[in-house]
Amino acid sequence: MILKGKIWKFGDNIDTDIIIPAQYLAHTDPKVLGSHCMEPVAPNFPREVKAGDIIVSGTNFGCGSSREHAPIAITALGIPLVIAKTFARIFYRNAFNKGLALLEADIYDLVRNGDEIEVDITTGIIRCGTKEVTAKPIPPFMVELINEGGLINYLKKKLEG
């Protein structure tokens, strides 16, 4: 599964309050959540990001509370993948449960905001210009979750089939 898009860089310790500020947690509509994604650090992000773009971050992406709103806000914008050096563990699982792919790779200093990137999530190969990095690939079961749009859709399909 190959994903291609423009890079949006965010630093270390991007917590769930940055991904989706607490004042919007009463909303359940993914479009509303997406319209406030990354608002505290990049107010124009929801209007400028394009479906298929990819977030690249440093360490500890998704730290903070365990809210599922955070991966929902990201996927609502059409972002299929976040690449970070490390992820908060509960965010990691929530993301896959909501259909958002995550790759752990230390590429933050190798790429620039706006660079075009190509990522094969099944092999872990990341290409940006002439640079190539291999991350730990996403396990096949987790790829299935992503392909089905998250855990609930995956389970529905399994029970129906």
Quick count: other Cβ atoms within 10 Å of Cβ 23? 10
Give the pLDDT confidence score for residue 102 in this predicted structure.
Answer: 97
Distance, in Å, from the CA atom of 99 to the CA atom of 138, rounded to the nearest integer, reads 13
Tokens of 76: 């609502």
Residue corresponding to tokens 């230390």: 106
What is the mean predicted confidence (pLDDT) over 123-136? 94
How much of the chain exceeds pLDDT 90, in percent? 91
Tokens of 105: 């790779």
49: helix, strand or coil: coil
Given the candidates 3.20.19.10, 3.50.50.60, 3.40.470.10, 3.40.50.510, the CATH classification of the domain at 2-160 is: 3.20.19.10
Q: Across the chain, what does the average pLDDT equal?
A: 95
Q: What is the pLDDT of residues 30-77, one digit of tens each?
A: 999 999 999 999 999 999 999 999 999 999 999 998 889 999 999 999
* pLDDT at residue 160 tops 90: no
Segments of 18-160 assigned E as strands: 54-57, 81-84, 101-104, 116-120, 125-128, 131-134
Residue corresponding to tokens 């940055």: 18
How many residues does this entry show for the chain? Answer: 161
* pLDDT at residue 161 tops 80: no
Residue 98, CA distances (Å) to 2, 60, 139, 144 in order: 19, 19, 16, 12
Quick count: other Cβ atoms within 10 Å of Cβ 6? 15
Taking alpha carbons only, the member of 127, 62, 49, 125 closest to residue 95 is: 62
Name the residue ranges covered by the structural domains of the chain.
2-160
What is the mean predicted confidence (pLDDT) over 106-124? 95
